[in-house]
Amino acid sequence: MITESNDVKRQENHLNESNQKEELLTVENLHIKFYSEGKKKITAVNNVSFRLNRSETVALVGESGCGKSVTSFSIMGLISKHVGEVEGSIKLNRKELNGIPSKKMRDIRGRDISMIFQEPMTSLNPVHKIGDQIGEVLELHTQFSKEEIKQKTIEMLRKVGIPRADKIIREYPHQLSGGMRQRVMIAMAMACNPALLIADEPTTALDVTIQAQILDLMNSLKSNFQTTILLITHDLGVVAEIADRVMVMYYGQIVEETDVQTLFATPKHPYTVGLLNSIPNLEEDSKRLHPIEGNVPYLGEISEGCPFRFRCKDAMEKCSHENPPLISLDKQKVRCWIYGEKEVTI
Ligand SMILES: Nc1ncnc2c1ncn2[C@@H]1O[C@H](COP(=O)(O)OP(=O)(O)O)[C@@H](O)[C@H]1O
Ligand SMILES: [Mg+2]
């Protein structure tokens, strides 16, 4: 009997492990190009490929302008044909999303994939009550009755730690603090229990103490809902708090990808090293902060070579002519000539 139940347990553990590795989102060879003056196109995202497995939290990090938000907008199907082109494959549960009719994409948004943004006021409607805004998502994607929608809305608000949820549903966004508004956004995003939550700089606009509370909340969502989270941030402190894996982005490309421990212990790409060195360290004198010199180049400014070479202390002759491929090392993938040239596929 004991052996049998142990066997069952082992089998369950095995299943759980393979469940955790089950892929949810696969992005392959993603290119995002925007139309500029005339017929010219500028590339904002250049050949990005990655995979998110079920229940994991993956951070996409990089300085402002690296292409993090536009990557997430393309996953949400929010890049209109009038402003640019999205090429490549974006599959959720092995089903292609890129290029599907906008009506189909509207069904998926909010139900299978939802998103929270840096500034909740831009996504909450100021003239509608909190309860109605969450209710609308449920009305769109479920068959719930009016009463069920109300109960579910209150339940979601309670789950994200909002006190007096039954009163809050009758209030307007401006009556809440920034932290509470972000909780409302999270409740709205989680209302239909989406498989994928994209959080774009969810704590950037908040005070440090509120930031910590929102990160705690996101950590509890991870364990309670088993949601897969794509967390976009420029803040490596946030990454350390919540992510399992990290992808570092520079000038529209992924330049390093690894698990969070490896990233902090043995960063490989000179850009990642630079980002880590620029984290303020409480024990050090603030004068010893080491920001990366220079800026992310303007889009279209660089036609060949490695786009980081201008800011890189290790740049070699080759870096001016050839953009390095993403190669696989023992524990991480990196795009830098220092480490050789054997290209990887995801
Ligand atoms: N609609 C647009 N038209 C033209 N360029 C755009 C548009 N949206 C974003 N970009 C450009 O794409 C690049 C990446 O932007 P974004 O993804 O917002 O960066 P991040 O989120 O990493 O700060 C930026 O250079 C930005 O100016
Ligand atoms: Mg952004």
Instruction: State how far the Cα of 49 lies from the Cα of 41, in Å rounded to an integer.
Output: 21
**Minimum mean pLDDT range among 167-176, 193-202, 276-285:** 276-285
Which pTM does this prediction carry?
A: 0.90
Mean pLDDT value of segment 248-259: 98
Instruction: State how far the Cα of 292 lies from the Cα of 109, in Å rounded to an integer.
Output: 37
Model confidence pLDDT, tens digit, residues 37-58: 877 899 999 999 999 999 999 9
Is 296 touching ligand 1 by the criterion CB < 6 Å? no
From the CA of 204, which ligand is nearest? 2
What sign results for the dihedral spanned by CA atoms 333, 295, 83, 112? positive
Confidence of residue 346 (pLDDT cuts 50, 70, 90): low
- Residue 95: name the closest of 78, 114, 75, 122 by CA: 75
Q: From the CA of 219, how far away is ligand 2's center (Å)?
A: 21
In this structure, the residue with its CA closest to atom 2 of ligand 1 is 34
Confirm if 327 and 312 have CB atoms less than 8 A apart: no
* Range list of H helices, 85-243: 102-108, 120-123, 130-141, 146-159, 165-168, 178-190, 208-225, 236-242
Model confidence pLDDT, tens digit, residues 229-239: 999 999 999 99
The confidence score (pLDDT) of residue 18 equals 47
Mean pLDDT value of segment 7-27: 63
Q: Give the CA distances from residue 164 to residues 78, 168, 192, 208, 214, in Å, rounded to whole numbers and listed in that order.
A: 34, 6, 22, 24, 18
Spell out the domains of the chain, with CATH numbers in brackets.
Answer: 23-243 (3.40.50.300), 266-334 (no CATH)
Q: From the CA of 70, how far away is ligand 1's center (Å)?
A: 6
| 70 Cα nearest atom in ligand 1 | 17
Is 34 touching ligand 1 by the criterion CB < 6 Å? yes
Is 72 touching ligand 1 by the criterion CB < 6 Å? no
Is 33 touching ligand 1 by the criterion CB < 6 Å? no
In this structure, the residue with its CA closest to atom 4 of ligand 1 is 34
CA atoms within 13 A on the CB side of 144: 19
Confirm if 219 and 31 have CB atoms less than 8 A apart: no
Instruction: State how far the Cα of 251 lies from the Cα of 68, in Å rounded to an integer.
Output: 10
Tokens of 164: 């007096």
Is 65 touching ligand 1 by the criterion CB < 6 Å? yes
Confirm if 209 and 179 have CB atoms less than 8 A apart: no
Residues 6+ apart with CB under 8 A from 64: 234, 296
**Minimum mean pLDDT range among 93-107, 137-151, 291-305:** 291-305
Mean pLDDT value of segment 91-114: 95
Instruction: State how far the Cα of 223 lies from the Cα of 295, in Å rounded to an integer.
Output: 38
- Residue 55: name the closest of 94, 19, 13, 15 by CA: 19
Is 62 touching ligand 1 by the criterion CB < 6 Å? yes
Model confidence pLDDT, tens digit, residues 301-331: 888 999 999 999 999 999 999 999 999 999 9
Which among 45, 70, 81 is the best mutation to test ligand 1's pocket, defined by most ligand atoms within 8 Å of the CB? 70
In the predicted model, what is the mean pLDDT of the chain?
Answer: 89
Instruction: State how far the Cα of 46 lies from the Cα of 169, in Å rounded to an integer.
Output: 43
Residues 6+ apart with CB under 8 A from 193: 225, 227
Is 70 touching ligand 1 by the criterion CB < 6 Å? yes
Mean pLDDT value of segment 271-288: 77
Is 67 touching ligand 1 by the criterion CB < 6 Å? yes
Model confidence pLDDT, tens digit, residues 139-188: 999 999 999 999 999 999 999 999 999 999 999 999 999 899 999 999 99
Mean pLDDT value of segment 242-259: 97
Confirm if 197 and 221 have CB atoms less than 8 A apart: yes
Instruction: State how far the Cα of 185 lies from the Cα of 120, in Å rounded to an integer.
Output: 6
- Residue 120: name the closest of 184, 190, 60 by CA: 184
